[in-house]
Chain A
Amino acid sequence: MNTNDKLLEYSIPQLLRWRVKTTPKSPALREKDFGIWNTYSWEDYYAYVRKTALGLKAIGLAKGDVIAIISDNIPELLFTAIGAHSLGAISAGIYQTSMPAEIAQILQYLKVSAVFCDNQEQVDKVRDVRDQIPNVKKVIFEDPRGMRTYMSDDWFIDIKTIYEMGEKEHTRNPALFESLVDEGKPDDVCHLCLTSGTTGLPKGTLLTHKNYINMGVQLIQVDPLEPTDEYVSFLPFAWIGEQMNSFGVAMASGITLNFPESVETAMSDLKEIGPHFMFGAPRIYETIRSQIWLKIDQSYWLNKVFYNYFIKVGLKAAQYRMTGKSMPFGLSIKAWLGKQLIFRPLVNQIGFLRLRRAYTGGAALGPELFTFYQAIGVNLKQIYGQTEIVGIAYMHRDGDVRPETVGKPLPGTTCKISEDGEILSRSDSVTPGYYDLPEKSEELLEGGWLHSGDAGFIDENGHLVVIDRLSDVMHNSRDEMFSPMFLENALKFSPYIKEAVIYGNKEDFVSCLINIDPIVVGKWAEDRGISFSTYMDLSGRPEVAELIMEQVIDVNSRAEKEHFKIKRFALLYKLLDVDDGELTKTGKIRRKFVKERYQNLYEALYDESVDKKEVEASFQYQDGQSAKVKTSIQFYTVKGAK
């Protein structure tokens, strides 16, 4: 039996204890605080988990209880989560951007008995809905700032008090914690992960210790990690994409997790750490690419000359690298030169110099982006999975990166395509079901397979290709099928387009609403002396419309089928936003909601006689206030599309 199989027999706290036994002094966590990176060794990590666990026990948390976590990424969050796991209790992550009403709903649904918050912002939200959540016995906070008036109320408790209570308990009964950890079973549920909820309220996915550890173990079989490798934890903890790394990958491989000083400093902290692997939603990679283009554009002439020459070389070399073929000698010399002269310094600027692998998942990424990153020497690979299978179940192998696919299954994962074309999977990481939703769980796991709800097929190389959500695939009035997401991604590859919403279900042609990228288009306008004030103003400029028209024509020229061509579009006066409910917390479009909200624009898109319409735009600010503005919006018909 090899080490990896042994790991699968542990619960997360037991695996942590095993790490302490093998490498007690190596760094496990690092947090930037007061400008300095502070390290916690595996030994420290375990000690804090012990204190927290016994402290939580002292305030009444018991096996099977649920503790919710609403916090930016800090080590204390892991102490609380794994501390709870040691007691057999279950942790649950809630997005920090959630509004009080939403938090109340989730706390009720999951029957939460304690909440961990990082600061006053989150504590106040929980306090707002206190009368709706009688089950919550304690609210634990990490940063006491601003909460001086709450101290007299014993509903609130400082994490430091929890530590003290835990320490006291440990001196009284030193064997208690170890025996609690011993009781854990790999098949116990340890975390409730909320699904992103493109439709309706989020569902709590039950995940077991084994689900997480298996995912980590299988991932590092394909892409090995060294215990000295670094990872920067900047994704929201409530998202499976972060938990799979902090619970699964880090525990299975022994890498160090680094916590940024604050959300705003994440990107500069990433640069200081220089991680060896990272994971992110497509948006992150799109944003970084835009920044690179902007920086090159603003750079001095020699840089531009080098960049423009070597990016062509890089793109050519990337084709060889991605397919694992060996390069012609001349090209490899040029590619090496390009790497030394421009790309190494360039990726160093964003902190990617030591990066061996970057993964993207959660939504599709334009094929051109893969080639771009591979060209500048960043090994960007697609993964595919879902919350219900702990994030990653399929991914590209090194030297076999095919942008149009999501790669091959991880070891131990079996894939099947159902008769309706749905992707089905089976592995040790598949969830036992949803919390308190037996019907939905049955649907999800029907016939012993995990039903993804995505349409896809397996290509001749054995790679899985994901088309779109089964429910999102559209048919035009002639019943020809097309995938809106695929067309949106084609548009979004243009640096000038930030977001696009494709319409055309049961219509004669495809049309879309487009969000321009404020930074890139703003710079473009500045360079041409086009003045503008707000995003709304910039979107309404005829010059900008012409620019976007060129982009759309370009996308149309590459359309594989005639009915994929976009015929009409309009530039939306505001960016689609999570706060307005137009995007999910992970940045996916809520199609139905967006269509209803912009119904008047939709109608105008399909009424070819309309080329201008007055609309009343309403905005919702982060503090809940809303405002209304009147504006007119133009509709454009693309030449050459039927």
Chain B
Amino acid sequence: MAHLDISDVTLSFGGLKALSNVDMKIEPGLITSIIGPNGAGKTSMLNCISGFYHPTSGDIYYKGKKLTHASPHQVSNMGISRAFQNLELFSGLSVLDNLLLARHQNLKYSFLHAVFFYGKASRIEAENRAYVEGIIDFMELEPYRKNLVGNLSYGVQKKVEVARALTLAPDILLLDEPMAGMNQEEKEDIVRFVMDIQKERGITVVLVEHDLGVVMDISDKIYVLDFGELIGSGTPEEIAQDPKVIEAYIGED
């Protein structure tokens, strides 16, 4: 059974159809990419999955549970986390604090414990820190641990954004253009991280990305959107041969 089953989803804003009758199946343990020209509805799709938008019609199931109308925090609690294209970090906090804060939902101790910071509270905070340090090590963020996010370069901030999503220990990680605005070296870096996220941490990755070279190299399955419609799907080889996809990307001659 598919991990995430998107069936017949339509999203319209007034007369504009951002998505129309889209079907997707996200298989566990794979890297699935969603590609398409600007305005094709890629980010809208992610917004529907993560609960920021709710589909006008159609349904989304996660492990058989319906999350069509779930709110973002409910989706996140179910194990789907997301890294945003436009960084959603607290620029006035350090990298460490950003990551610790992202795990606030895992901090289950009472106000009284917090006041005295004794017993349960200090133990949970220590566990939380240990978990976050594991992510810092994984994403190689050690040199920036105590730097304010706002002072870091864009490439590093992007890494922090992915790390923030990872601290939630998700089953599915939604990555919205993690490589946009990066130079070649930073891109290669992120690709390595995305592959390690899938292979070493066993997390299912849904990737929205513009860089076709990257997508073709690392995806197990690709969905192609154009004007809100699904115009193709399959393995990278199949997609590269698909005349409809070629037309959407290169245009008619």
Contact = CB atoms under 8 A, between A and B. Distances in A.
A308 interface: no
A34 B134 contact: yes
Contacts of A199: none
A625 to B, nearest CB: 10
Interface string B118-140: 00000000000110011011001
B215 to A, nearest CB: 21
B129 A35 contact: yes
A521 to B, nearest CB: 21
Contacts of A34: 130, 133-134, 136-137
Given A145-B196, A148-B199, A148-B200, A265 B133 contact: no
A268 B136 CA distance: 16
Interface of B: 129-130, 133-134, 136-137, 140, 142-143, 145-146, 192, 196, 199-200
A242 interface: no
10 contacts: A34-B130, A34-B133, A34-B136, A35-B129, A35-B142, A146-B200, A148-B199, A262-B140, A262-B142, A264-B143
A582 interface: no
Nearest to A148: B199
B142 A261 contact: yes
A268 B199 CA distance: 32
Given A34-B136, A264-B143, 4 more contacts: A33-B137, A34-B133, A35-B145, A146-B200
Interface in A144-158: 145-146, 148
- Chain B CB within 10 Å, residue with most, of A34, A146, A261, A265: A34
Contacts of A145: 196, 200
Contact of A262 (B129, B133, B134, B143): B143
A270 to B, nearest CB: 13
Contacts of B145: 35
A523 B200 CA distance: 43
A120 to B, nearest CB: 10
A147 to B, nearest CB: 10
Given A35-B145, A262-B143, A264-B143, A146 B196 contact: yes
A31 to B, nearest CB: 13
A124 to B, nearest CB: 12
Interface in A253-309: 261-262, 264-265, 268
A36 B132 CA distance: 12
B187 to A, nearest CB: 13
Nearest to B199: A148
Contacts of A33: 137
Contact of A35 (B133, B199, B200): B133
A265 B143 CA distance: 5
A257 B43 CA distance: 51
A422 to B, nearest CB: 44
B111 to A, nearest CB: 27
A35 B199 CA distance: 25
Nearest to A144: B200
A168 B137 CA distance: 31
Nearest to B96: A35
Contact of B142 (A146, A148, A264): A264
A130 B200 CA distance: 26
